[in-house]
Amino acid sequence: MGTTILKGRAFKFGDGISTDLIIAGKYAHLRSNLPELARHAMEDANPDFVKRVKPGDFIVAGSNFGLGSSREHAPLVIKMAGVSAILAKSFARIFFRNAINQGVPALICPTDSIADGDTLEISLDEGTIHNITRNETYSFTRIPAAMLNILNEGGLIPYINKHGDLKL
């Protein structure tokens, strides 16, 4: 991934953001029309999210982000909305793996001092998050090596297509 620096604004969410809040099951009929589905990203948690989010912005949440369904559409619509990384105190297991498999960095870090609208700069290599608005720096838990290899290839399918197999 080289020296990847991500910069954008924080969209703040609370604890326990379920996959139903990220992309509701009632939109299952749009799952073969991803651009249309992505218009409903985070709808029941923040109805203005898709209108306000800009490419490069971040989702910043509390604990157990992405609990519930295995729908990979959850990180997929977040990615399609332009989000470049998701920061949370903790992630539900399936969502965490799905995000990495979609090439979306899911970073475990303290998020209490980040406010909605703060501008953040993230160095994926150094493992740091600089809050430009508050002039604070936080570090995130390193992504396990096996998953970092997948993330660095842009997701699981590109990884398998390049390496031809699962390697640890």
* Interface residue list for other proteins (CB under 8 A): 16, 18, 20-21, 24-26, 28-33, 44, 63-64, 67-73, 75-76, 90, 92-94, 97-98, 101-102, 144, 146, 155-157, 160-161, 164-166, 168
Tokens 């990495």 correspond to what residue?
Answer: 100
Listed residue (75, 88, 97, 62) closest to 140, CA to CA: 88
Q: Closest separation between CB of residue 29 and other proteins, Å?
A: 4
Cβ-based nearer residue to other proteins, 7 or 31: 31
Cα–Cα distance for residue pair 80/98, rounded to 1 Å: 14
Cα–Cα distance for residue pair 11/13, rounded to 1 Å: 7
Q: Closest separation between CB of residue 56 and other proteins, Å?
A: 23
Cα–Cα distance for residue pair 153/60, rounded to 1 Å: 24
Q: Closest separation between CB of residue 44 and other proteins, Å?
A: 4
